[in-house]
C-alpha cells in the first residue's frame, strides 16, 4: 500500500479539506457478537438454536469476497468492517476522516417481515454493540440507530438510544416496502423529536419493479436507484415532509444523477394530479432541496462539466455528501473522487459542510 | 537499469509480490506456466496497489449463459473496483486500447529475479 499512501499525500498538498464520510459499514464478525447484548431469552436462539440471518443476495460473483475491498480483510482475516483497529487505520487515519457515520450492515433486523419481537431485540443488541465497541472507542465515529420495522418497537428503540451524543440518525433500511406509509410516521416523529436525521440505505433484500432480482449481481446493482426512487416518491406523496418539515433524510448509496430527473418529473405530475394528495403543500422539488441529501458513492467517473450541470439542475449545492462505502469493493477515496476542476467551495460543501449541517456537528 | 528484486524461489507459481524499485512500486507475478511478468503496482483508476488484489482468470462468452474460463492466473484484479489487467500486456480487459498499466521486463538469472526499469 506504500504507493497508494504516497500518491494520496502528494494530492493532499493542494488544499486540505475536512472530510465527513457518510457511509461506513462497520459490522459484527458473526451474530455471536450480539450475544452479550441480548437477554437470556433471546440469547438462546443464537447459542442453542443456531439462529442465523437469512442471506438473500448471492454475492461473490467475480472474485473471492466480491462484496469487499480485497485489502479489507486484514491479517486477522476477520469479516471486513468488524475490526475496529483495521477500520481506524485503513479508513479514518489513512484518509484523514474528520467524522465517519457508521451505518452498519445489519439491515436484516429492519427488513424482517415478521417476528418483530426478535428483530427488535437484535436491533437493540446491534445498537448496544455499536455504542460499546465502536462509538466509545473513537470520537470521530457517529452512529445510526438500527430499528425493527414495527413502528411501536422502533420508537421505543429510538427513545432508548437516541439521546446518545454520537447517534446522529435513524437507519430506515430499504427493503421491499415504502417507508412513507402513514403507519411508519411515528418513527419520523421520534427522529424529529430527538433531533436525529433519517438515513436510508439499501438492504440485501431489494427486488426491482418489473424484474425481481434481474438474475445477475451487476444487474441488481445497476438497478439500486429504482429502490431509492420508490422511497422518495413515497415520502413526498404521503406528506411526511409536510407533517415533519424539519426532518432531513440522507439517501445513502443510491446515486444522485437521477435526482434532477425525478424532481422535474414529480413537479410536472403534481401540477395536474395534486388533488389526489392535497396534503402535499409544496412543489415536490422543494422537498428534495430542503429535506433530502444524497451520498456520492458509487462515483460514476463523470466529467467536471457533467457534474456541474447536475448540480445546476438540482438548483442547490447543498444536496450532496461525500461517502466511501468502506469496506465494500466500490470504495471511493476522498482525495480521488470529486473532479479536480470544481471549485474549492463546492468541494468543501460536498466533502464536509453539507453533512456537518445535516448532522449538526 | 537491471535491479535484483528477490530469489527465484520466493516467487512460486501463482504468486505475486510487490517491490519498490527506483521509488516505483512494481508487482512481479509468476504465471501458471512459470513465466514472470512485472507491472506498475498502481491501479490507473483510483490508485490502490494491484498486489493487494487477486491473481485470477477471467471469462468470455458469445452467448448469454455461456462462460469460457480464460487466462487462468494471468489476470490481476484490483482490490477496490475489480478492474482486470492482463499480466502479459498490462492491458485492461474492458478497454485494452485505452486503459492499461505499464509493464516492465523481468529476467530470471541464476536463481535471482531482476526487473528492468
Residues from chain A contacting residue B42 (CB–CB below 8 Å): 3-4, 7
**Is the pLDDT confidence value at A161 over 50?**
yes
The number of CA neighbours under 13 Å toward the Cβ of A349 is: 12
State the pLDDT at residue A96.
97
As its CATH architecture, domain A20-359 has: Alpha-Beta Barrel (3.20)
Q: Supply B26's cell numbers.
A: 512494481
User: What is the average per-residue pLDDT within A322-348?
Assistant: 96
Could you report the per-residue pLDDT of A258-286, keeping only the tens digit for each? 999 999 999 999 999 999 999 999 999 99
Task: Label residue A311 by pLDDT band (50, 70, 90).
Answer: very high
Task: Label residue A14 by pLDDT band (50, 70, 90).
Answer: low
Chain B residue set in contact with A, beta carbons under 8 Å:
20, 24-25, 41-42, 46-49, 52-54, 56, 77-82
State the pLDDT at residue A63.
84
Domain borders along chain A are: 20-359
| DSSP notation for A153-183 | HHHHHHHHHTTSTTEEEEE--B-SS-TTSGG
3-state SS assignment for residue A221: helix
Nearest CA in chain B to A333: B46
Could you report the per-residue pLDDT of A122-147, keeping only the tens digit for each? 999 999 999 999 999 999 999 999 99
> Of residues A64 and A315, which shows the higher confidence score?
A315
Instruction: Please provide the average confidence, as pLDDT, over all residues in chain A.
Output: 93
| C-alpha closest to that of B51 among B96, B22, B20 | B20
Nearest CA in chain A to B55: A63
Residue to substitute from B24, B41, B44, B48, interface A, most A β-carbons within 10 A: B48
Cis peptide before A200 (omega within 30 of 0): no
- State the nearest Cα–Cα gap between A334 and chain B, in angstroms: 10
| DSSP notation for A314-351 | HT-SSSEE----TTBTT---GGGSS-TTS-HHHHHIII
Q: What is the dihedral of CA A259, A265, A267, A269, to 10 degrees?
A: -150
Interchain pair A2, B54: CB under 8 A: no
**Is the pLDDT confidence value at A317 over 80?**
yes
Residue where the block lists cell 455499536: A130
Q: Supply A358's cell numbers.
A: 445535516
**Is the pLDDT confidence value at A8 over 80?**
no
**How much of chain A exceeds pLDDT 70, in percent?**
95
Residues from chain B contacting residue A1 (CB–CB below 8 Å): 48-49, 52
Residue to substitute from A60, A64, A70, interface B, most B β-carbons within 10 A: A70
State the pLDDT at residue A78.
86
Domain borders along chain B are: 2-116
Residue B69 backbone phi and psi in degrees, to 5: -75, 125
State the pLDDT at residue A58.
65
Residue to substitute from B79, B83, B94, B95, interface A, most A β-carbons within 10 A: B79
Could you report the per-residue pLDDT of A195-241, keeping only the tens digit for each? 999 999 999 888 888 888 888 889 999 999 999 999 999 999 999 99
Pick the CATH number of B2-116 from 3.40.120.10, 3.40.50.720, 2.102.10.10, 3.30.420.10: 2.102.10.10
State the pLDDT at residue A57.
67
| DSSP notation for A74-86 | TTTTPPTT--HHH
Q: How far apart are CA A63 and CA A74, in angstroms?
A: 17
Could you report the per-residue pLDDT of A49-84, keeping only the tens digit for each? 999 987 766 666 788 888 899 999 988 888 999 999
Q: How far is CA A309 from the centre of its chain?
A: 25
Question: What is the tally of helices (H) and strands (E) in chain A?
Answer: 15, 8
**Is the pLDDT confidence value at A7 over 90?**
no
Q: What is the pTM of this model?
A: 0.91
Could you report the per-residue pLDDT of B76-111, keeping only the tens digit for each? 999 999 999 999 999 999 999 999 999 999 999 999
Amino acid at each position: 500500500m506504500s504507493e497508494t499512501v504516497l500518491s494520496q499525500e502528494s494530492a493532499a498538498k493542494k488544499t486540505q479539506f475536512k472530510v465527513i464520510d457518510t457511509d461506513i459499514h462497520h459490522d459484527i464478525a458473526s451474530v455471536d457478537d450480539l450475544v452479550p447484548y441480548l437477554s437470556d431469552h433471546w440469547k438462546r436462539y443464537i447459542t442453542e438454536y443456531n439462529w442465523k440471518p437469512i442471506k438473500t443476495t448471492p454475492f461473490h460473483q467475480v472474485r473471492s469476497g466480491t462484496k469487499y475491498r480485497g485489502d479489507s480483510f486484514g491479517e486477522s482475516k476477520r469479516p471486513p468492517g468488524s475490526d475496529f483497529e483495521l477500520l481506524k487505520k485503513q479508513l479514518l487515519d489513512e484518509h484523514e476522516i474528520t467524522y465517519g457515520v457508521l451505518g452498519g450492515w445489519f439491515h436484516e433486523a429492519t427488513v424482517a417481515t415478521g417476528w418483530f419481537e426478535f428483530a427488535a431485540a437484535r436491533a437493540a443488541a446491534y445498537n448496544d454493540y455499536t455504542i460499546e465497541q465502536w462509538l466509545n472507542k473513537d470520537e470521530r465515529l457517529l452512529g445510526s440507530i438500527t430499528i425493527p420495522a414495527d413502528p411501536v418497537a422502533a420508537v421505543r428503540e429510538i427513545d432508548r438510544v437516541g439521546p446518545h451524543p454520537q447517534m446522529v440518525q435513524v437507519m430506515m433500511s430499504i427493503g421491499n416496502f415504502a417507508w412513507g406509509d402513514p403507519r411508519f410516521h411515528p418513527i419520523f416523529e421520534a427522529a424529529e423529536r430527538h433531533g436525529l436525521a433519517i438515513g436510508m440505505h439499501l438492504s440485501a433484500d431489494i427486488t426491482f419493479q418489473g424484474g425481481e432480482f434481474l438474475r445477475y449481481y451487476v444487474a441488481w446493482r445497476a438497478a439500486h436507484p429504482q429502490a431509492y426512487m420508490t422511497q422518495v416518491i413515497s415520502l413526498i406523496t404521503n406528506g411526511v415532509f409536510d407533517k415533519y418539515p424539519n426532518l432531513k433524510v440522507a439517501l445513502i448509496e443510491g446515486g444522485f444523477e437521477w435526482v434532477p430527473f425525478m424532481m422535474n418529473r414529480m413537479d410536472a405530475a403534481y401540477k395536474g394530479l395534486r388533488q389526489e394528495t392535497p396534503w402535499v403543500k409544496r412543489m415536490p422539488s422543494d422537498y428534495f432541496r430542503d429535506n433530502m441529501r444524497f451520498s456520492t458513492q458509487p462515483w460514476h467517473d463523470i466529467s467536471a462539466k457533467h457534474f456541474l450541470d447536475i448540480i445546476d439542475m438540482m438548483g442547490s449545492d447543498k444536496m450532496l455528501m461525500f461517502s466511501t462505502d468502506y469496506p465494500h469493493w466500490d470504495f471511493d477515496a476522498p482525495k480521488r473522487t470529486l473532479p479536480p476542476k470544481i471549485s474549492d467551495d463546492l468541494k468543501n460543501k460536498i466533502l464536509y459542510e453539507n453533512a456537518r449541517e445535516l448532522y449538526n456537528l | 537499469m537491471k535491479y535484483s528484486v528477490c530469489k527465484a524461489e520466493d516467487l512460486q507459481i501463482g504468486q505475486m509480490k510487490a517491490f519498490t524499485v527506483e521509488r516505483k512500486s512494481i508487482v512481479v507475478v509468476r504465471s501458471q506456466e512459470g513465466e514472470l511478468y512485472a507491472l506498475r503496482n498502481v491501479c490507473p483508476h483510483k490508485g490502490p496497489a494491484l498486489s493487494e488484489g487477486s491473481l485470477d482468470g477471467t471469462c468470455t462468452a458469445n452467448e448469454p449463459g455461456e462462460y469460457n474460463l480464460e487466462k487462468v492466473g494471468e489476470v490481476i484484479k484490483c482490490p477496490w473496483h475489480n478492474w482486470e489487467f492482463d499480466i502479459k500486456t498490462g492491458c485492461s480487459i474492458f478497454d485494452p486500447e485505452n486503459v492499461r498499466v505499464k509493464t516492465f521486463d523481468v529476467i530470471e538469472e541464476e536463481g535471482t529475479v531482476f526487473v528492468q526499469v
